[in-house]
Structure 1
Amino acid sequence: MGNSNCRNLGIPLPKGPNAVGCSDFMMDHTLGGTFFRLYYPCVADEDAERPEWIPRKEYLYGLADFMKFNRNLSEKIFNYLFGSFKIPAAMNAPYKQNGKCPVIIFSHGLGAFRTLYSAIGVELASQGFIVAAVEHRDESASATFFYEKTEEMGEKKKASTSTPKPNPTAPDHLAEKWMYYRALKPGEAEFPLRNSQVKKRADECIAALERLIEINSGKKMENVLQTKFDWTTLENSMDLCRIAVMGHSFGGATVIEALCKEVKFKCGIALDAWMFPLDDEIYVRVKQPVFFINSEKFQWAGNIMRMRKLESSSTSMHRKMITIMGTVHQSFPDFTFLTGSWIGKILKLKGEIDPQVGIDLCNKASLAFLQRHLGIEKDFNQWDHLIEGKDVNLIPGTNVKEIS
């Protein structure tokens, strides 16, 4: 990746008591396998390698396709803007043994991928959580990859792009295959596609949880990416009675679908959720607590009405909604920290609020909600008032005029 004029921009450093490590995990190698980035408390090492925010140029191609820009031109622009940014976590750093950690599965939004919400991932890990940020293979990510077996063991890898950069960590008998975002076809109805995607996304979140449960049990796991991280050190590291699911936008809908499908998820946090992909009958089937954290500029009456449907169940007292004033839909991914004021506002990556103030409110409110509903013995309850929307930059519920 190239260099960019960083000025004072950058992904916020985590504020919790733990240093944060991260590593990528893929099992198995096929399209149907599991792929996620794991954030975890680690042994502190100031000289540790920091991973690039955009790990491969193919992700830039995917972002260009998603935004309907020219790939070659976009690669140059994106590389200039974002190419030098690093995630504030130590790549493949040793896991820090310090009791059992609650677990969060995170689902990205439409056109995103596993690294774009690192400000949230590193903060939660610094506060003692193990966070798996899934990269979805339902054609809703801007780009992702998997592997196919080559015809002969040891055959030189082939790639699906015209100018491949082979992944040096993959075995020689596997060929890298890239999958890019699938746009709607002319005349195609959107709901059937998004509905099938949200079901697959929930299944991928559940599969990621299942892999973590196996890792926690001490089962030997084959990571296709062959990273330097020792996954066996995570044995008995996770508190499997305290598991949550979290996501942004399409990932917010994925939260609701996953809660319906998997009771191991004890609660869910939906960031500016896009509720359109969900079946109507799902709302009465979700029993766990849900927290909707919305931006000021994205929501509309029909979407809020779908969120309100969850309140019709007997557990509605555990359903909360707040709105962060001065925010836009892209105030939750990392882009908001990495663009200057005028570019950020032109591209709708920044709102009126200081991006770090906005994400702090999101993270602190989330931590308070997680403590309340996972039974965590921490001091996150100092932020309980945020769950109720009590802050100068918050309002309880929504700013959207609802249909009566």
Structure 2
Amino acid sequence: MPQPAPREPGPEPKPKATRLPAPRPPKTLRERIFHALPPYAGPYHVGYMEIEVPAQNPRHFSHIKRNGEFALKLDTVLFSIYYPSLLPEKESSSRSRTRVPWLPRPRAETCRGYALFLSIPNLPVTAYIAVTSMFTKLHAHRNAKLSDRWPMLEPAVAAVATPTSQDTLVDDDEQRDDNATDDEDQGKPKFPVIIFSHGLGGSRTAYSAVCGELASFGFVVVALEHRDGSGARTFVNKTGESADLESQDLEMTQERDDKPDKRRKRKDKKTKPYYMVDYIFPKDNALDTSPNNARGVDTELRGAQIDMRLAEIEEAFHVLREINNGRGNRIAEQNLRVKGNIGSSSRGLDGVDWADWKGRLYLENVTMMGHSFGGATTVQALTEGFGWVSQGIVVDIWGPAVPESTTTHSTQKKPLLSVGSEAFMHWKDNFDRVERICKDTRTSGALCWMTTIRGSTHLFPTDFALLYPNWMSLLMKTIVNPRRAISLTVHSALEFLKITLPPHQTRFSHAWADEELLRHADDSETQVLYDHRPDDKWVAARLKIANEFSLRLRSWLPWRKQDAGVPRDASGKPLAGLLNWGPGKEVWVHLSPDRNKY
């Protein structure tokens, strides 16, 4: 296995003065009443942009049709960008600090999409989500200014603690060094890039906790919303060309239609400036995601969806390159998420200073990251020859969805981190497929880790785990505290990227949280327990908790014994949930490189 190039740490910034970021906003009244997401832990505030632009190469994928039309059509690409932002105090009460709603617009339609995806009645789902999360906001500010400052921590603090809102940041004009690049010589940091691919039923905001947390540590995270029929519901705004084609079809239809009422209804349907994409269930095999499905994965549909996802990733990368090359204004002109179009904020991209973005992104070493089906997409992206993708992070990957040709005939040669759930660890076929991918990666000479977060279930990296922790605990038997599971995922990713990214992209890694989750044990020392393996019919769906009733009762009693030495969240609850394992025992490492290789 080739050893990574020796690191030559650049000179640390030596500021003459420091600046504290604006204080985190206190909880609003609606956050105290409705479900709320936790604030991000990194030293940066987080900005947010939403972009939908026409595809460079519109086309359809596969011959699969629904309602007489091709089901997988690439007309536009939609994604959100989470990025580091430092907001001046003078903007603390201005409209520029508008926070982003968690539930994508149109909200009622999005709720109906979730009901369809879950195959349950629409009305109760829509009503429940409306009551609990309709007003939930991300801790990200729309179109905020890209940060032009560096994070700075005392070395002793950075080594043992997660940065908080009180960590200092360095003024941009007081940190020049002789070895900086042209952009860095101007005092403005460049940021590494992560492209995130969601899982089945996901969206561009469903993983805001992970994406925003990474952005708060200094990454630009592009969260795609795939329009391949893998999300619960999404809306595609039509471009001028597609709208003209619809108009021509309408005129021909009207000439053939002799009934005015039918013509009027068809006209209303045809002239909509958008179309809706719902979750596509495989024909005659709707539950192809289930471990107990004897027919297995619908390889035709899932393979076509991955092909379309890869095309969307390329389209998004093209947009990033345009922005980085100083042509952000062109992207803003093409943006379809503007006032009047469905799913859009009234602000669009108003207030974005595109000059700030010129030359501020590292696009030669992009990281691919994805959850579940997005993990399968990530593995395929690593093997597709995208020269600008240098490493990948898969979170509870759906292994059987990875094309068999990839796992049989292709060797993945780029560094890979796999963070899995305990629920999926007990799914043997999935575990074996992921282990094969990881072993092939290690055999090729690339660094690779395969880990499991103890007590977690499949939705642990999603915002649903944070917004609905009681349902996750009661229905899926999730044991780990959801906030802790997010931290373990992000901190593992930061440790992995500190090792695999080029040194010039990790110049401010001293501000990254580092619990040494990947270094604390190698695969020969890991003791995997199967105490929570469920019955076969619940494999991958939930865990099993022995003596569940008494455990829950004890955890609810106000006089319960508080175990010393167990990490706790802000409310004082044990971070490990019902069962306390303590530091260093929360992550199982199944595969890891030799320690002298990194």
TM-score category (smaller protein): 0.7 to 0.9
The amino acid that maps onto 2:99 is: R
Moved more, 277-286 or 248-257: 277-286
Equivalent residue, structure 1, for 2:510: 379
Alignment of 1:316-355 (within 5 A): 316=445, 318-341=447-470, 343-348=471-476, 351-355=478-482
Matched, 1:182 2:280: yes
Q: Compared with structure 1, are the counterparts of its residues 382 and 105 closer, same or farther at alpha carbon in structure 2 (3 Å cutoff)?
A: closer
1:239 & 1:304 partners in 2: Cα distance?
33
1:194 & 1:36 partners in 2: Cα distance?
21
Equivalent residue, structure 2, for 1:395: 588
- The alpha-carbon deviation at position 296 of structure 1 amounts to 0.9
The amino acid that maps onto 2:209 is: A
Equivalent residue, structure 1, for 2:378: 255
Contact persistence 2:34–2:133 (CA under 8 A): no
Matched, 1:71 2:122: yes
Equivalent residue, structure 2, for 1:157: none
The amino acid that maps onto 2:336 is: V
2:520 & 2:282 partners in 1: Cα distance?
37
Matched, 1:133 2:231: no
Identify the match of residue 238 of structure 1 among 352, 357, 361: 361
Q: Which has the larger radius of gyration?
A: 2
Off by >6 Å, runs of 4+ in structure 1: none
- The alpha-carbon deviation at position 245 of structure 1 amounts to 0.6
Equivalent residue, structure 2, for 1:225: 337
Q: Deviation digits for residues 205-226 of structure 1, max 9, x if unmatched?
A: 2221121012111122221213
1:329 & 1:4 partners in 2: Cα distance?
29
2:308 & 2:369 partners in 1: Cα distance?
16
1:325 & 1:69 partners in 2: Cα distance?
30
The amino acid that maps onto 1:298 is: F
Gaps of at least 5 residues in structure 2 are 1-28, 59-73, 149-187, 247-264, 266-270, 287-296, 339-347, 522-583, 592-598
Contact persistence 1:290–1:320 (CA under 8 A): yes
Q: TM-score, normalised by structure 1?
A: 0.86
Q: Compared with structure 1, are the counterparts of its residues 223 and 183 closer, same or farther at alpha carbon in structure 2 (3 Å cutoff)?
A: same
Matched, 1:40 2:83: yes
Contact persistence 2:43–2:511 (CA under 8 A): no
- The alpha-carbon deviation at position 175 of structure 1 amounts to 0.8
Identify the match of residue 489 of structure 2 among 341, 357, 362: 362
2:497 & 2:104 partners in 1: Cα distance?
30
Q: Deviation digits for residues 100-125 of structure 1, max 9, x if unmatched?
A: 10000000010111100000111111
Equivalent residue, structure 1, for 2:206: 116
Contact persistence 2:99–2:137 (CA under 8 A): yes
Matched, 1:80 2:131: yes
Alignment of 1:185-224 (within 5 A): 185-187=283-285, 190-219=298-327, 220-221=330-331, 222-224=334-336
Equivalent residue, structure 2, for 1:20: 46
Moved more, 33-42 or 315-324: 315-324
Gaps of at least 5 residues in structure 1 are 154-161, 163-172, 399-404
Q: Residue 321 of structure 1: SS of its match in structure 2? A: strand
Contact persistence 1:41–1:125 (CA under 8 A): yes
- The alpha-carbon deviation at position 9 of structure 1 amounts to 4.7
The amino acid that maps onto 1:356 is: R
The amino acid that maps onto 2:101 is: E
2:272 & 2:383 partners in 1: Cα distance?
36
**Percent identical:** 29
2:513 & 2:140 partners in 1: Cα distance?
26
Contact persistence 1:121–1:131 (CA under 8 A): yes
- The alpha-carbon deviation at position 43 of structure 1 amounts to 3.1
2:299 & 2:208 partners in 1: Cα distance?
29
Q: Deviation digits for residues 316-375 of structure 1, max 9, x if unmatched?
A: 55111111111111111001111242x232443x71111111111110110111111112
Contact persistence 1:389–1:397 (CA under 8 A): no
2:216 & 2:370 partners in 1: Cα distance?
18
1:240 & 1:67 partners in 2: Cα distance?
37
1:225 & 1:382 partners in 2: Cα distance?
35
- The alpha-carbon deviation at position 309 of structure 1 amounts to 2.2
Identify the match of residue 54 of structure 1 among 97, 100, 103: 103
The amino acid that maps onto 2:387 is: V
1:382 & 1:11 partners in 2: Cα distance?
20
Identify the match of residue 392 of structure 2 among 263, 268, 290: 268
Q: TM-score, normalised by structure 2?
A: 0.59
Equivalent residue, structure 2, for 1:96: 147
2:147 & 2:475 partners in 1: Cα distance?
39
Matched, 1:312 2:440: yes
Q: Compared with structure 1, are the counterparts of its residues 370 and 321 closer, same or farther at alpha carbon in structure 2 (3 Å cutoff)?
A: same
